[in-house]
Amino acid sequence: MMSYGMWFGAILMNLFGLVVLVFVVYLLVRALDRNSTKQRTENKLTEKSLQILDERYSKGEIDDEEYLRKKKNLLE
Q: What are the tens digits of pLDDT across the range 3-57?
A: 666 777 888 899 999 999 999 999 999 888 876 777 777 777 788 888 999 999 9
Burial readout 32-66 (b: 16 or more C-beta within 10 A, e: otherwise):
eeeeeeeeeeeeeeeeeeeeebeeebeeeeeeeee
Residue in 23, 25, 5 with CA at minimum distance from that of residue 15:
23
Total domain count, the chain: 1
**Would you state the pLDDT for residue 28?**
92
Flag whether 55 is in a domain. Answer: yes
- 70 lies in which domain range? 21-75
Report the interhelical angle of 64-75 vs 4-59 (nearest 10°).
170
Identity of the residue numbered 10: A
- Looking at per-residue pLDDT, the higher value among 65 and 36 belongs to 65
Flag whether 11 is in a domain. Answer: no
